[in-house]
Structure 1
Amino acid sequence: MADTGRGILDIVPASHHDLLTAPGTAVLTTIDRHGRPQSTAAWYLVDHDGLLKLSSTADRQKIKNLRANPSCTFFLMDPANPFRTLEVRAEAELVADTDFADLKRFTEAYGREPRVLGDERFTIVLRPRRIVANPPARQS
């Protein structure tokens, strides 16, 4: 079941917040029409509303896959320690970015100039179902 009432930083252990708040590249895995996984590198950000978001043009395979099956996995690996990872199993919501406002936030976060590729752009909002942080957060 998706957690729609809280932001991603409210449900990810504090030990892994830095992986979400620093610009980086994650792997988004979707399911294609044949039921096979399809993975792609993706920029991400935790937006002002606390939601974990990605951005893509409508012609990308990940958008086609998510339209047919919104189940996906978002995977981050700490570049300094490959054994420190964060997996977000989620349901994706596709939101049209008609004025490219979300794209502008992404490019600002990553220090890039906005480039509009394609006529139609979507923000992918990830609604977490399960979080897997490794190593697990220590219990006090």
Structure 2
Amino acid sequence: MWFAWDGELIRMTHTKARQKFRNLAAEPRVALSIADPDDPYRFLEVRGRLDGVVDDDADASFYRSLQERYGNVYPITDADVRVIIAFRPEKYVAVTAGKVQRTAG
């Protein structure tokens, strides 16, 4: 999933109509893995808890900003059910050049 990081929270977009949204309502733990497309031995895994869910605006402006950031802009046909999911990272595992870094705990 596309995401935005503001230094405190990771934000993603989704719709209220999908199973993943219902799963988050029942279980607020989140895990996100990010792989480096140029180096299969470099990745980041982030784990945290759901911090909040808010409706995107009528134009799905947050979703549009992600489309523009990732260079894949297309019509948003589900703007009326788009939400912004925010989670706060609590732990991470990072692997670079075969070296593992992780948070304690």
Within-5 A mapping of 1:98-137: 98-99=57-58, 100-111=60-71, 112-117=73-78, 119-135=80-96, 136=100
CA pair 65-110 structure 1, distance change in 2 beyond 3 A: same
Partner of 1:3: none
SS, match of residue 86 in structure 1? strand
Displacement after TM superposition at 1:98 (Å): 3.0
- Hey, which of these two has a bigger chunk of strand by percent? 2
Encode CA deviations 1:53-92: one digit per residue, 9 max, x unaligned: 1111111111110011110100011111111110110112
Equivalent pairs counted in the alignment come to 95
Structure with higher RCO (Cα < 8 A, 6+ apart): 2
SS, match of residue 95 in structure 1: strand
> Which 4+ runs in 1 deviate beyond 6 A?
none
Name structure 2 gaps, 5 residues minimum.
none
Q: Which TM-score applies when normalising by structure 1?
A: 0.60
Larger CA deviation: 80-89 vs 105-114: 105-114
SS in 1 for 2:77: coil
Deviates more, 1:92-101 or 1:76-85: 92-101
Report the TM-score when normalising by structure 2: 0.77
Give the whole-Å Cα distance in 2 for the aligned partners of 1:50 and 1:104: 21
The percentage of counterpart residues that share the same residue type is: 34
Distance 1:109 1:97 in 2: 17
In structure 2, what residue type is equivalent to 1:75? S
Shift of 1:44: 1.5
Q: Residues 108, 50 of structure 1: CA spacing in aligned structure 2 closer, same or farther, 3 A cutoff?
A: farther
Deviation by residue 1:111-139 (Cα, 9 ceiling, x = unmatched): 213413263111111211101111336xx
- Root-mean-square deviation (Å): 1.9
